Each structure stands twice: as C-alpha cells, then as structure tokens.
Amino acid sequence: MFREFLPSLRKQSLVTKRPASIADMMEEFWREPFGSFPSFPLLKDQGYPTLDISEADSQIIVKAELPGLEPNDVEITVDDDMLSIKGEKKFEEEEKKDNYHRIERSYGSFHRTVLLPCAVKSDEVKAKFDKGVLTITMAKSEKEKGRKIMIES
C-alpha cells in the first residue's frame, strides 16, 4: 500500500519544500546522515553538484556531474574568483502502474558557489555539456598568471 503513495508523497514534499511524511525524513537522513551535526564540518561542506577543479598554466577547468539535466536547466555565473552553478532538476511524473520500492533520485533546485584558485576573465568563459558532465573552461586573468622572479646573489 505504501509503495503506491511514495511518488505522490515525494512530489508533495518537493512542492512544499519540507518533509511530507516520515518516509521523507528517513530518506533525508540516509542521504545526509551527519548534516545536522556541526562537529562534522567536512561532511557538511559536500554539495551538489560534485565538482572537479583543475588548473593549468593559462586556464582553470571545472567539471560538474549533472545527470538527467539539459543545458537550458543550468545557469553559470562567474565573478572574479567566484563560480556559481545553479539550476533545477524537475520531478518526472511516474506511471501509476509501477510498483516502487524506493526512489533515490533527487529532484529540486540546487545552487553551488565555489572560490576559484585565482581571478579569471569572465568574458572568456566557455561551457560544454556532454553526457551529463558540464565542463567549464576559464582563462586566467593576466594579473593572476604571475611571473618568474630572479633571485639576486
């Protein structure tokens, strides 16, 4: 009986942005078990989407996993040394005849802001979306490239 109502309960909790049932609270606990404990700052800082940030001589590359999204579902902004990625993953209406035991895919809006290793040229940012991976390439600002300093003896 409960399995029949799970998709509608999940949808209701997304609309109201709060748990609609004890099942939602349990699901949230299993998704982020230490989220309410301030003594676990490393676990609490994990965000969505997960990011890989790498640096080369002249550019910074950020890769974000965004499965199930389309490029028009995501907004990217860059301001000096801050990168923001935000968007929304919409709930797909499930067929009533399906007999769900569990729904683990997450839905809803997300917003992730990270500090980049250095300032970048915001007018030279390029983004590519391929197979659920968003790749953002940013050219370093001239003032941040640095120069080699000779040591006098």
Q: What is the pLDDT of residue 17?
A: 58
Q: What is the pLDDT of residue 130?
A: 92
Question: Crossing angle, helix 2-16 and helix 22-31, to 10 degrees?
Answer: 70
Reported as a single tens digit per residue, the pLDDT across 45-54 is 457 888 999 9
Q: Look at 101 and 122; give whichever has higher pLDDT.
A: 122
How far apart CA 124 and CA 117 sit, in angstroms, is 17
- Residue 79, H or E segment: strand 74-79
Domains and CATH numbers, the chain: 1-46 (no CATH), 48-142 (2.60.40.790)
CA distances from 92 to 14, 17, 42, 88, 108 (A): 12, 17, 32, 12, 11
How far apart CA 91 and CA 60 sit, in angstroms, is 33
How far apart CA 3 and CA 35 sit, in angstroms, is 27
How far apart CA 134 and CA 68 sit, in angstroms, is 12
Reported as a single tens digit per residue, the pLDDT across 4-40 is 555 565 566 556 656 656 666 666 666 665 555 554 4
pTM: 0.61
